[in-house]
Amino acid sequence: MKLTIQDIEKAAKRLVGVAEKTPLQFNNRLSKKYGAKIYLKREDLQEVRSFKIRGAYNKMTSLSNGEKKKGVVCASAGNHAQGVAWSCNALKVHGTIFMPTVTPNQKIDKVQHFGNGYVDIKLVGATFDDASAASQEFAKKTGAVYVHPFNDPLTIAGQGTVGKEIVKKLGKNIDYVLSCIGGGGLISGVATYIKNQIPQSRIIGVEPSGAAGMQESLKKNQVVTLETIDTFVDGAAVRTVGDLTFQIVKKYVDNVIVVPEGKVCTAMIELYQNEGIVTEPAGALSVSALDHIAEKMKGKTVVCIISGGNNDILRYPEIMEKSLVYQGRKHYFLIEFAQKPGQLKRMLDNALGPNDDIVRFEYMKKTNKEKAPALVGLEPRDKKDLKPLLARMDEIELKYTKLSEKDMLYEYLV
């Protein structure tokens, strides 16, 4: 299982007329903010709204006629499934696609749309790895060809064509390339191509803190399986990275950065509000990591791969919430009030500052106890307003508990 730059060149020829040669857009806002030349590689503008069509089609078009007759099977959190479904329709090959039960409906509907009658969808398990195990068992029983989302040389070669397009556009004037990491297919292909063309360039991988499988594997110098993962960044929520992608990342990737989910949400919102770019969480990972290399990249040429834009609009309230909490601009408290008139007014007059807003208040008098708790959500204009707010609450001897991510109630709220 090896990958060469020639494999990527062959994949590029197979993908002519199939995958879009997506724009590499100079971004004024980010360039000014970081003092660098920052470009966005817009893989969210593929027909399936992610880079996954590249690897899926390259793998499937390489199958023999006999293999195509047996059909294909895959597992995916959404984007790979859409690439496989599109390819099944284009090549008239039947496919069975296993997806986690937590996959957003928007992605499931898209898979059905692109498959156009050539795919069956099976929802299995809570994570990609659960769906993957079921899909591989299905392949053994039926003889269907397994189309791996990342740990296959042909899949990786297809994803590597992203790197080929970046080099064709910028030449050898590339200092940094930032890419998300789920199982590692995209960054493996991109790194293989760019490092062989521009050895001095630096390839940076980005993982969400709730699913940092590649970083953990690099620390232990072997592929590890994470016991638990946070599936919020669903496009990168993988418990076990590939053994092939792990070896390629070890060889070519200079650093892997882990970013909190809240920071990813902030990057998503900023891209939408400023550039009108709709990304999914994994699609914004590369941009969310720029702060980590801000000093090193001043005056440099930087490429961030926007890997996908399949985001369900119904997720935006949660995205906004996570962003505000991460920025320190939203806090939840359990506050004990005496059950008599004027207690809330006392807090409003003496604790809240001019920049503090109550965004949630839940209280119901159920008994005749002297005191009872209320759930209060407060939103300061700036995170620096929290400390004086707490000081004023202490000054009027308000009894409260600030909820943290460790509290079960917090998970209910956010």
Structural domains in the chain (count): 3
Helices and strands counted in the chain (H then E)? 17, 14
Same domain? 30 vs 101: no
Size of the chain in residues = 414
Q: What is the dihedral of CA 147, 225, 178, 158, to 10 degrees?
A: -10
Q: What is the dihedral of CA 182, 170, 270, 53, to 10 degrees?
A: -40
Same domain? 310 vs 162: yes
54/133 Cα distance (integer angstroms): 23
Which of 146, 170, 188 is the endpoint of a domain?
Answer: 146
Question: Checking phi first, is residue 288 left (phi over 0); if not, alpha (psi -120 to 50) or beta?
Answer: alpha
Which of 322, 353, 383 is the endpoint of a domain?
Answer: 322
Q: What are the two backbone dihedrals, phi and then psi, of residue 278, each rounded to the nearest 5 degrees?
A: -95, 115
Which of 322, 337, 354 is the endpoint of a domain?
Answer: 322
Q: In terms of Cα–Cα distance, which of 236, 178, 186, 230 is closest to 207?
A: 236
Same domain? 234 vs 360: no
Residue owning tokens 């990609």: 128
Q: What domain range is 32 assigned to?
A: 5-50+153-322
Same domain? 162 vs 278: yes
Same domain? 33 vs 104: no
CATH code, 403:
3.30.70.260
pTM more than 0.85: yes
- Going residue by residue through the chain (414 aa), what tens digit of pLDDT does each one get? 689 999 999 999 999 999 999 999 999 999 999 999 999 999 999 999 999 999 999 999 999 999 999 999 999 978 999 999 999 999 999 999 999 898 878 789 999 999 999 999 999 998 888 999 999 999 999 999 999 999 999 999 999 999 999 999 999 999 999 999 999 999 999 999 999 999 999 999 999 999 999 999 999 999 999 999 998 998 999 999 999 999 999 999 999 999 999 999 999 999 999 999 999 999 999 999 999 999 999 999 999 999 999 988 888 999 999 999 999 999 999 999 888 888 889 999 999 999 899 999 998 766 667 788 899 999 998 999 999 999 999 999 999 999 987 787 777 776
**Strands lying side by side in the sheet with 371-380:** 356-362, 371-380, 331-338, 399-402
Same domain? 129 vs 159: no
